[in-house]
Copies of this chain bind each other. A is one copy, B any other.
Amino acid sequence: MHRTAGIVIIGNEILSGKVQDANSPFLCTELRALGVEVQKISAIADDPELIAREVREFSERFDLVFTTGGVGPTHDDMTIEGIARGFGTRVVRHPRLQEMIEGYYKGDVKEAHLKMAEVPEGCELIEGEQLWVPVMVYRNVYIFPGIPEILRQKFETIKERFREAPFFLRKVYVMEGESAIAELLHDLLKKFPELMLGSYPVINLSEYKVMLTLESRNEAYLEQALKRLLETLPARSVVRVD
């Protein structure tokens, strides 16, 4: 079985519309390219009890969990406390992080700086040459910051550990509406029950009316399904195949 993933976006700023979440689209695209199936995304508030519940549930349901946000030094950074609470463990200062922070700030270390050394007890660190701050992993939960540039750098450093058998994808753009092709898509799935088939209508576009996506981890199966689809679609309705 291939690994599944869930993403927990933590931050009031997303829910109140002040900041648009750029991290879950990034993670979804990257994980898909690695062959990992993201099954759920939740965006929740900066509240330790909500974080505890959500991360614990995700950790049980999915092989991999990615959290983003809530790991800075201020009052609204609740992710570490929330994860610790979710697994019934304590928040402790990680000696390696403390050492790094004290080394950086020299004699000028404040309590707020040392908040950044806090982890759920038992948390592992993954260091990387490109990284100023290591990636924190607690069990199957990868704890990322909310700042997109740093998240990306951290993800790039560790992403090879997530690689699975890839998904193969073909896209077919058609000039028919969804209602006109719904039945033949249904029939296609009867013949190819393992096919992942998506149908995405657009409006106000002159190039096409529906984008069909066909996916499988089995490339030969995918190509057979594509061949069958192209045979059954109305003549001249196919605009493009990618």
Give Cα A215–Cα B16 distance, bound, in whole angstroms: 11
A200 adjacent to chain B (CB < 8 Å): yes
> Does A93 reach chain B (CB closer than 8 Å)?
no
Partner of A74, one of B21, B147, B185, B215: B185
Q: List residues of chain B with CB within 8 A of the CB of A201.
A: 72, 147
User: Is A111 in the interface zone, CB < 8 Å from B?
Assistant: yes
- The one of B113, B185, B203 in contact with A75, judged by C-beta atoms closer than 8 angstroms, is B185
Distance to closest chain B CB from A97 (angstroms):
14
The segment out of A25-33, A133-141, A157-165 that lies at the interface is: A25-33
- The smallest C-beta distance from A228 to any residue of chain B, in angstroms, reads 15
A63 at interface, CB cutoff 8 A: no
How many angstroms between the C-alpha atoms of A196 and B12 in the bound complex? 9
Given contacts A74-B185, A110-B179, A116-B179, 14 further A-B contacts (CB under 8 A): A9-B41, A13-B198, A15-B39, A16-B38, A17-B33, A40-B42, A73-B182, A75-B189, A110-B180, A110-B182, A111-B182, A147-B203, A149-B204, A150-B203
